[in-house]
Amino acid sequence: MALMNENYLKLQGSYLFSEIARRISEFKKENPQADIIRMGIGDVTRPLAPAVIKAMHQAVDEMGQPGTFRGYGPEQGYEFLAQKIIENDFTPRGIEIDVSEVFVSDGAKSDTANFQELFGINNILAVTDPVYPVYVDSNVMAGRTGYPNAKGQFENIVYLPCNEENGMKPSLPLTRVDMIYLCYPNNPTGMTLSKEELEKWVAYARENKAIILYDAAYEAFIREENVPHSIFEINGAREVAVEFRSFSKTAGFTGTRCAYTIVPKEVMVYDSQGNCHSLNKMWLRRQTTKFNGASYPVQAAAAAVFSEEGKKQIRETIDYYMENAGIIKRGLEKAGYKVFGGVNAPYIWFKTPNQMPSWDFFDKLMKEAHVIGTPGAGFGASGEGYFRLTAFNSRENTEQAIERIKTRVFF
């Protein structure tokens, strides 16, 4: 008899975005005419940049010729891409990264979910609340937590509430933690930490020999000064942090799949005897065993993101989404909602009127405005009473959605 991994019994029936998709499809069945505008999952809508497409076509042609065909690539990614990543994303910010510290992959979702494998099962993890559910669920699956309580919070996880009172900024944990997930610009709240605020986290990690798992998937959307683009802008972070980056939102790769993780050589974890071990070596061991690299055409396409035309084209797309973010933010504020985010991130986080439960608000918005968002409760207990919209739809749909919310949704 094959026994199951009983940790799966601790999880909710379905992943947040699968549950949303289920509710939409049910609503669509009953209301086939409804012209639904999707601003729920953070999925991009603008096509890949011409420079990216050109590079991908060329790489596909190379794969069709005996002289240029490539089989398995390096599990860690091609050096041509790692070099471009370093030169463009880190060197200009005064951050030194070695090619052996760059791990190219097929997505930041899988990297953030898989990375926890390198840590002991008894580590205590801290997450902000609300939080991107992948960090929590992947640790639950691994058995690092107990069962959830009535609020859906798991035993052995330290939740750091982010709410209106603290301006959506988490306080340092009051009890010792070993693994800390931080995502900035934040998904779902769209808020950021300043350099000084991030310095406190690095200091905490150094004092407690904790590791910060820093998700910077939305860094390209940062507009304001004094907002760190990388945790490695903070002195001392190389010893206590790894950073996840993604081409998904930056360059429209949600369907193409490419991301990378920076694991500095200095970052260490400890065995039960107190000896230190390199996370970089462990991640290399893990990736070479379980992953065979992102495909060559995809990596060639990702490298084109850093060409002169690529950078210009991608900047235009990001500007376009950020204009949408401004339209949503201003529109909701005008309609009387209390709004967060949308300045340095493609996510707009707002309070539901009259403390309406967020799934009820989801249903109301879907039924009355045919607009789909994401209920805050799906991101954790502190997300209850909040709602998230994304800026990734077209201009026309974004304007239409705000108009519908203003004119059709009343309390």
Count residues binding ligand MLT (CB under 6 A): 6
Q: Shortest gap between Cβ of 1 and ligand MLT (angstroms)?
A: 35
How far is Cα 48 from Cα 369, in angstroms, rounded to an integer? 30
| Cα–chain center distance at 396 | 26
Side by side, the strands of the sheet bearing 347-351 are 339-341, 347-351, 386-390, 374-375
Cα→Cα distances 82→15, 48, 96, 326, Å: 32, 20, 13, 33
Closer to ligand MLT at the Cβ: 184 or 296? Answer: 184
Least Cβ distance, residue 206 to ligand MLT (angstroms): 29
Give the span between the Cα atoms of 306 and 52, in whole angstroms.
Answer: 9
The span of 37-45, 77-85, 207-215, 226-234 binding ligand MLT (CB under 6 A) equals 37-45
Determine the 3-state secondary structure of 277 from DSSP: strand
358 touching ligand MLT, by CB under 6 A: no
Q: Does 245 bind ligand MLT (CB under 6 A)?
A: no
17, 40 contact by CB (below 8 A): yes
DSSP 71-114: -S--TT--HHHHHHHIIIIIGGGT----GGGEEEES-HHHHHHH
Q: Which residue has the tokens 């390209």?
A: 220
Q: Which is nearer to ligand MLT, 38 or 229 (CB)?
A: 38
Amino acid identity of residue 388, one-letter, is: R
Determine the Cα–Cα distance for residues 260 and 268; give it in Å rounded to an integer.
19
Task: Kindly state whether residue 24 participates in binding ligand MLT, applying the rule CB under 6 A.
Answer: no
Question: Which 359-388 residues touch ligand MLT, going by CB under 6 A?
Answer: none
Closest approach, Cβ 215 to ligand MLT, in A, equals 10
Identify the residue among 37, 38, 42, 218 touching ligand MLT (CB under 6 A).
42
Pick between residue 42 and residue 385 the one whose CB is nearest to ligand MLT.
42
Q: Is 113 in the site for ligand MLT (CB under 6 A)?
A: no
Q: Is 41 in the site for ligand MLT (CB under 6 A)?
A: yes
Q: Which amino acid is at 260?
A: Y
Residues 131-150 vs ligand MLT: string with x where CB under 6 A?
-x------------------
Cis peptide before 32 (omega within 30 of 0): no
Is there binding between residue 187 and ligand MLT (CB under 6 A)?
Answer: yes
Which residue is nearest to ligand MLT, using beta carbons?
42
Q: Which position among 38, 109, 238, 370 is part of the footprint of ligand MLT (CB under 6 A)?
A: 109
Of 19 and 43, nearer to ligand MLT (C-beta) is 43
| Residue numbers at the binding site for ligand MLT (CB under 6 A) | 41-43, 109, 132, 187
